[in-house]
Amino acid sequence: MSQSALEEIVSLVKSRSGNPVAYAGTIDYSAYDDFSILIAAIECKEFGWETGGLEVAEQMFKHLLSKNPDYAAAFYELAVVHRYQRRLREALTCAVQASCKAPDNVSYAVFLAHMFYANGCWDEGNAALDRIAPTNPHDRAQIAAMRGFGDYLKEFPRERARYITDAIRQRHYWMSVEEVAQAIKSAIRSQQGFALVRLGDGEGTFARVNPEDERRFADLYGYCRRFWVKFLLGESFDPTWTGYEALTAHLMPFVEQADILGVAYWDWLDYEYSIAAERTIPCLLNINRYVLENINCITLCNQDVHLQLHRTGMLAEIMRELQSVSVISCLEGLDARVKEMFGVKNVDIIRIPSENHAPHLANIVNRSSVSHFPKVFWEVMHSLARPHDGKVFLIAAGTFGKYYACVIKKHGGIALDMGSIVDGWMKLASRPFYASAFGIEDTNKSGEMSDSDK
């Protein structure tokens, strides 16, 4: 059975093939009902960040509105597209239309407040939230978190975020990728304990800057932390009784043990401000705020230093000096891949469960029967608490990997936080830009792929 034009356009976007933007302009949409077009456009919006999916979705939502100017869902989805294309004023205009045409839709109203805040309209954003009559705890939490984001964005506008990010570079030593590579080589040659740890928005979720800040933005931070737990560990995971909440409460003091700490750099933060990312802005900026307020002396580098090491060939140069290496990852076959790529003679792997609840890993990873935390995490921590005598570890274990790295260093090993770059080595597009960065041609064919990790 041949595909319909809507199925074909979605397939082109997902498979990163052809020219979906041009093809979308040739479709006779009159052959389809409005809801089918809406769903296809949403799929293009969600899956096609690298391949014109946002542009395709924009065409389709505008077509729907040309037919039906009262279609609230199309206005809302077009507002989301504008937002991700960094057109926040246009996003606000469409969000106003969506909320006016569906005044009882809580999600539309919260997004309207979001876009008011994104455009610096603080009173209007608060008024939009005040008009909502929540009927359940989820809606109340969503409203409180968005109000908290408005307060956060007003307290920490783009200019202040830039100042904080510049200030940590001036207060602490900031290494270039060349200096990081040299530091790693020196540690390997001297067989001294060493840890390179990178902190992203996941880790920033648990950065507690100070008690007053925690109280002031409790609703926003609570939302971010609940999101992250559900995102990685699943709906049913209880962070309290498992000890996860207590563990992550001390993440930042723990990673201060690292020799080099990768933190959020301005280009990344600037992008998040350009789309008014309600979770990523506070999570990234709080890392830098924590470093500025709570750490007297530490060596820093860009959080994406693992990609820089890979792209420049410096990582390959480091690996060629090794006779053996250990890898901590969920990826079956990664040990063989490391041998093939870098010519390392002996590679052993410590297998961990994948973060298989994360939506960005859907259809890319196989579901694990056990959770990474708590049992496996503590087993791995115990196994690493022994002398390593300068042994090198490549770590791809998400937030848990930051703890592993510091324990390895403490016991004389060399821990390199490689994160999701190993997915690229295994041709798994677990990040939007990995398809182009690692030459991954068709990530839609993912049924036979193995586990992945952050």
Per-residue pLDDT of the chain (454 residues; tens, 9 = 90+): 346 999 999 999 888 778 899 999 999 999 999 999 999 999 999 887 767 899 999 999 999 999 999 999 999 999 999 999 999 999 999 999 999 999 999 999 999 999 999 999 999 999 999 999 999 999 999 999 999 999 999 999 999 999 999 999 999 999 999 999 999 999 999 999 999 999 999 999 999 999 999 999 999 999 999 999 988 888 888 999 999 999 999 999 999 999 999 999 999 999 999 999 999 999 999 999 999 999 999 999 999 999 999 999 999 999 998 999 999 999 999 999 999 999 999 999 999 998 755 554 555 556 667 889 999 999 999 999 999 999 999 999 999 999 999 999 999 999 999 998 998 898 887 776 676 677 776 544 333 223 333 4
pTM, whole model, 2 decimals?
0.91
Nearest 10 degrees: Cα torsion 78, 80, 81, 84: 160
Nearest-CA neighbor of 24 among 3, 9, 2?
9
For residues 90 and 87, what is the distance between their CA atoms, to the nearest angstrom? 6
Q: What are phi and psi of 261, to 5 degrees?
A: -115, 120
DSSP alpha helix (H) spans, 158-250: 158-171, 177-190, 201-204, 211-216, 218-233, 244-248
Token duo for residue 121: 């309209």
How far apart are the C-alpha atoms of 356 and 371, rounded to whole Å? 9
Domains, in order of start, for the chain: 5-142 (1.25.40.10), 160-437 (no CATH)
H/E stretch holding 173:
strand 173-174
Residue for token digits 């490689």? 418
Coil, strand, or helix at residue 308?
helix
Q: Which of 69, 63, 13, 3 is nearest to 37 (CA)?
A: 63
